[in-house]
Amino acid sequence: MKKIIALVLCLMMVLTCAAAMAEAEAEKESLGVLKVIGAFDIKYSPLPNDYKVNVYMQNDMTLIANITTSKAELPQMGLIIAFNDEWADTERLNDVSEEDMEAIKDSFFEEYDEVEFDIKETKSGTKLLIAKIPGGREAYVYTIYKGHELEMEIVPGAEEEALTDADIERVVAFLSDMDFVPVETQAAD
């Protein structure tokens, strides 16, 4: 009898854990679906601090969104996710050569005279290139995932004089929680 009770309790614990995991996954919202070399539904966790994601352009290869809040002391962000043939065989930014990494960094100098670079990682170990413009008026977080370039521009909120390290960490956390979930598509007849 004790074994049956223990088995029932174990089964209830397993089901409770499975339900909790399913609920946590269900809480993520869809940013949109990109359909290049396989389709991905881009999911993200609910955002803190009254942030809202507004997708204002999307097609099969590109997604452009603003991530904004009404709180003037918090930064505003823009997100671009675009497929790039040059990176079609690249799984993550971690996989690019030093030469390619330098070329990516050099692309920021096309628009700015001075840029400070840093490397951070998401929770899953994906490298993020942080490009800070001196003076703290804007920063970029760049990475590659399965041939897609992801770039987030961060600018200070109306009541901020300059971006802080906490602002950068907020973007790293957002990208850490972002999931590219494969979507099965039917083959065209």
- The lowest-confidence range among 30-34, 81-85, 152-156, 161-165 is 30-34
pTM of the model: 0.76
* pLDDT value at residue 37: 55
- The lowest-confidence range among 28-37, 65-74, 169-178 is 28-37
User: What burial class does residue 6 get, using C-beta atoms within 10 Å of its C-beta: 0-12 exposed, 13-18 middle, 19+ buried?
Assistant: exposed
CA angle 133, 134, 140 (to 5 degrees): 20
Sorted by where each starts, the structural domains of the chain and their CATH numbers stand as 30-183 (3.40.1000)
* pLDDT tens digits for range 24-69: 454 666 655 555 555 677 777 777 778 888 888 888 788 888 988 8
* pLDDT tens digits for range 90-114: 988 999 999 999 999 999 999 899 9
Q: Print burial letters for 18-41: b (CB count within 10 Å at least 16), e (below 16).
A: eeeeeeeeeebeebbebebeeebb
State whether residue 160 is helix, strand or coil: coil
Q: Sign of the C-alpha dihedral, residues 48, 49, 50, 55? A: negative
Residue 137 has pLDDT above 50, yes or no: yes
